[in-house]
Structure 1
């Protein structure tokens, strides 16, 4: 078992989640149950699945939760691109968030590959 609070992927995804909450606070009210909700739920899913996976007894089980977390990261990427298309976030903010997200995806994928 791993201690999730010690994992850099968990720390970064938790910080990223806070950033998503900050960015979506300025989204239009009409998006409260749309992109705002989707982005927030997907961002919460990432560190949550990493933490839940840490409680599993085998690396195979943990690896599955990391796959789910990576899936949520790809959802986030799509939702951020759409948010930029809709001009809810600026190109600069979008690029910054996507770069951070890509870094977390790569770190998580690399970590996952060490579990086999």
Structure 2
């Protein structure tokens, strides 16, 4: 069992989640149940799956939750690109968020590879 609160990926993903909430608060009201909701749910999923996976009794189970985490990250990347296409965010904000997300993906992938 791992202490999720000590994991750097969990800490970074919480900060990233806050950034997603901040950026989506600027989305049009008509997107409240669309991209805003989708992005927020996927962003919350990242630290949540890390925490839940850390409670599992085996590294194999934890690795499965980290794989779900990666899926949520790629979902967010797609949704952010769509947000750019719809002009809900600008390129600068997108670049910052994608850089943060890439860091989380790399850290998660590397950590996952140590669990096998």
TM-score of the superposition, structure 2-length normalised? Answer: 0.99
Distance 2:96 2:19 in 1: 11
In structure 1, what is the Cα distance between the partners aligned to 2:6 and 2:83?
32
| Other-structure match for 2:20 | 20
Paired positions, count: 116
The separation in 1 between residues aligned to 2:18 and 2:25, in whole angstroms, is 11
Deviation at 1:99, TM superposition (A): 0.8
Distance, in Å, in 2 between the alignment partners of 1:24 and 1:48 is 19
Q: Secondary structure at the match of 2:89?
A: coil
Q: What are the Cα deviations for residues 22-53 of structure 1, in whole angstroms up to 9, with x where unaligned?
A: 00000000000000000000000000000000
Uncovered stretches (5+) of structure 2, i.e. residues with no partner: none
| Cα root mean square deviation, aligned | 0.3
Shift of 1:63: 0.2
Instruction: Name the residue aligned to 1:65.
Output: 65
Q: What is residue 50 of structure 1 aligned with on the other side? A: 50
Q: Show the counterpart of 1:32.
A: 32
Q: Which portions of structure 1, spanning 4 or more consecutive aligned residues, are displaced by more than 2 angstroms?
A: none
SS of the equivalent of 1:16 reads: helix
Structure 1 spans left out of the alignment, 5+ residues: none
Give the aligned partner of residue 2 of structure 2.
2
Q: Deviations over 1:42-72 (max 9, x none)?
A: 0000000000000000000000000000000
Q: Distance in 1 between matches of 2:100 and 2:49?
A: 18
Cross-structure match for 1:97: 97
